[in-house]
Amino acid sequence: MECQLCGLSTPVKPVVGDGHAFCCYGCREVYRCFGDEILTTGLQNRSSSEAEVVQGDEAFLRIDGMHCSSCELLIERSAVRVDGILAVTSSYATSTAKVVYDPQQITEAELPTALSRTGYQAQLRGTALPVYDERQPLLRLIIGVGLAAIVMMLYLAFFYPVHLGLVELDELQPVAWLAFYSVPRVLLLATTILIFYVGAPIFRGAWIGLQVGVLNMDNLLVLAILAAYGYSVTQLMLGSLELYFDVAAMIVAVVTIGRYLEHKARALATAELVTLLDAWTPRARVRVGETFVDYPIEQLKAGDRVTIFQGETIPVDGSVIDGRGAVDESLMTGEPIPVSRETGDLVLGGAVVVEGSLDISVDPQIRSRTDILAKILWNAQCSSAGAKRISDSMAQVFVPLVIVLAVAISGTLSWLGYAPGVALLAGLATMIVSCPCTFGLAIPLATAAGVSAALRRGIIVASADVFEKAGRPDIIAIDKTGILSLGEMTVTEVIGPPQVAEYAAAVERQSEHPIAQAIARLDTRQTGTQWESYPGKGAMATVDNKRIAVGGKALFTLLGWHVEDQLSSPTASASGDSVVSYVGWDGTAHGAIITRDRERPHWEDLLEQLRKMGRVVLLTGAEHPSGYESQVDEVHAGVPPEAKAAVIGQLKTRGRVIMIGDGSNDAPALAAADLGIAFGSPTALAAEAADVVILGDNLDRVFDALRILGTTRRRFFQNLGWALLYNATAIPLAALGMLNPLFAALAMSCSSLLVVWNSSRSLR
């Protein structure tokens, strides 16, 4: 049977609640909290995704080179023309695409080529994109700034003084050949290179918009550039000095600088994120005869024998056929305590073998828990229509209005009897003064500043659209293990004579098990010899000529040693998720050591500050809230990963939701939240799902991240507000003939510089 909430398989005896079958008590409690509504939502989501799967096989790809939200339409419309591709949904915000295809007509390996035909770079998930070559953009930037400086210096030397009435044309007669012949042609050459080489990405963006039938910012930029350039070339051919090459040059240079800074900031964030993702690689070591062969998960077959050594990640779900080991499933289930796995036990893909080694047989379905969560994550990312930038959204209205207005002004003045040159200049002034440089720079430059400020504090902003998501939250959902606790075991109580701690530490010093390492820190005087490990149960060693056993009751049962009743009785310290390790010698347990997941310092302060911002919900895969429930407003414990996303969906009906987590089991919830924050040393899936990744163990950085996001978002609106005010003032002046193209260009440049200054101010 399938769980009514998350869709996972239920045990032989499912957990039942109000006539519904669940896979665990966590799902049942979530249902009891939210009622039938969460079941209906979950079933609808699963049925809609299943409807898509029926169409064909699914593949997820990363797309590099997406220019704006118009690229989504271009990719989708061009890809479906390829035989075998049935449907494509792409997201500019996450640079991802989901492809539904017919494997009988096209293979998965051929999909990247099919999606790269329109000039993008596509790679299947799990395959790293080629390292970005920044030499070409840097060359464009250097040439653009250099040529724009030359153009402006020549204007300052020869043309601006004349236009401002500071110098008469007659006074330039001694240098007439230089001023009236050479300089204009140098300006023509420099501006031509600027436009058609440096400005090539702008023209590409405009062409993409035309291909998909959507006018974007680049369309208006190109119109303004070509209008100023074309008018200037015409005037030069007619022998006039009414040249506006400076306008075209400044537009290209300023936009190029802004886009380079934005991409540079994103590249820094991506580089940090790639470092995190390198920690997880979906490959399996398959035993073939007497040798081992590394296979990607996609090439595994049911029944393959996969070997996992100590410290390695289990690649896929399977059954243990040889070996014993302690397995850390905290990143998958949320439980911080490693569990024992031996022959016949099932293991989860994505868990880590912390002690011992295992040989597993791959399950018939060949599905990794990690892969399941990855599919949920990629579906969540690709299902979005793409987070359009505020400036691009405004441009869809602004661009057509400006074009219509410029044509209308020129036409009206011609109809009223004005000279064609005057009418053309009025329309051109309107086009120039309303040039959307301020819109084009408003968000990218503020984004670059925000990303850089975050990186200096160990905070990685995963994508630029995160700043658009920022806002005061109504609900903050937070995971337990790795956030409120450290995911590290610590000793809370030692029961028995003084030798208990000394002997136990001597035995456990040679083990890599998290509980053993906690016990080993109790004493440093001795180290055991003739050490023997019982993975998942404990260990033995010789200390002071005695065989000392340290481990759980299962170890003492295996050895046939006696455990006193007073030690067997649970103590107050051993409640919840605590672990009791018995210590014995001479066939008897003489004491016990109690360990539990270590609390993160200052976790109370974190929750106290979060509660000032909104309602705090503890959302954990661990069965026990371990005392943290007293500091939060709501608790959902024992919740599997798939159900976490459903809980976030229900919480979002109450307002904006922030999710803070670190493990792969948190990835669906991080992706589903309005703002996902991965904290500490997040897994690859958590890092990819989150909008913000916070490195290190300083909880205060959560608030640093929120402040940076909020401040940057305010910069967006300040810049856009200025852009609107500027255009609302300047366009009417140009339309009324009170602003000639020269002053229009100066006003446009000053407006852009103001946006640059505001975006570059220090984020405090």
Q: Assign 513 a pLDDT band (cuts: 50, 70, 90).
A: confident
CA distances for 408 relative to 397, 571, 740, angstroms? 17, 85, 17
End position of a domain, from candidates 84, 107, 130? 130
Is the separation of the CB atoms in 426 and 416 below 8 Å?
no
Kindly state whether residues 153 and 268 are assigned to the same domain: yes
Query: Is 696 part of a structural domain of the chain?
Result: yes
End position of a domain, from candidates 114, 130, 146? 130
Query: Is 261 part of a structural domain of the chain?
Result: yes
Is the separation of the CB atoms in 618 and 26 below 8 Å?
no
Is the separation of the CB atoms in 715 and 764 below 8 Å?
no
Kindly state whether residues 178 and 263 are assigned to the same domain: yes
* Range 582-586 average pLDDT: 93
The model's pLDDT over 699-742, given as tens digits with 9 standing for 90+, comes to: 888 888 888 888 888 887 887 788 778 778 888 887 777 776 55
Residue type, 474: D
The H or E element containing residue 378 is helix 369-382
Report the predicted TM-score, pTM, of the whole model to 2 decimal places: 0.60
Is the separation of the CB atoms in 624 and 485 below 8 Å?
no
Kindly state whether residues 69 and 152 are assigned to the same domain: no
| Residue 439: per-residue pLDDT | 61
Kindly state whether residues 155 and 246 are assigned to the same domain: yes
* Range 329-356 average pLDDT: 79
Kindly state whether residues 405 and 420 are assigned to the same domain: yes
Round the CA-based radius of gyration of the chain to a whole number and report it: 33
- pLDDT reading at 139 higher than 80: yes
Helix H, strand E, coil C: the string for 635-694 is EECCCCHHHHHHHHHHHHHHCCEEEEECCHHHHHHHHHCCEEEEEECCCHHHHHHCCEEE
Query: Is 191 part of a structural domain of the chain?
Result: yes
390-394, 577-581, 655-659, 664-668: segment of lowest average pLDDT: 390-394
Residue type, 365: Q
Side-chain half-sphere CA neighbours of 212 within 13 A = 21
* Range 373-396 average pLDDT: 48
Kindly state whether residues 752 and 666 are assigned to the same domain: no
| Residue 573: per-residue pLDDT | 47
The H or E element containing residue 30 is helix 25-34
Q: Tally the domains of the chain.
A: 3
| Residue 387: per-residue pLDDT | 34
Most confident of 93-97, 107-111, 129-133, 420-424: 107-111
Gap between the Cα atoms of 730 and 412, Å rounded = 19
- pLDDT reading at 386 higher than 70: no
User: In the block, which residue shows the tokens 């005061």?
Assistant: 472
- pLDDT reading at 379 higher than 70: no
CATH number at residue 74: 3.30.70.100
Q: Percentage of the chain surpassing pLDDT 90?
A: 11
State residue 202 phi and psi, 5-degree precision.
Answer: -65, -45
| Residue 746: per-residue pLDDT | 62
Q: Which residues does the annotation mark as catalytic?
A: 479
Gap between the Cα atoms of 546 and 703, Å rounded = 53
| Residue 385: per-residue pLDDT | 35
Give the residue among 54, 683, 4 at the shortest CA–CA distance from 370: 683
State residue 621 phi and psi, 5-degree precision.
Answer: -85, -15
End position of a domain, from candidates 130, 160, 180? 130
| Residue 448: per-residue pLDDT | 66
Structural domain for 659, as ranges: 457-485+601-710
CATH number at residue 607: 3.40.50.1000
| Residue 476: per-residue pLDDT | 92
Going by C-beta distance under 8 Å and a sequence separation of 6 or more, which residues neighbour residue 286?
292, 293, 294, 295, 300, 304, 305, 306, 307
Q: Assign 67 a pLDDT band (cuts: 50, 70, 90).
A: low
Give the residue among 703, 699, 654 at the shortest CA–CA distance from 674: 654
Query: Is 699 part of a structural domain of the chain?
Result: yes
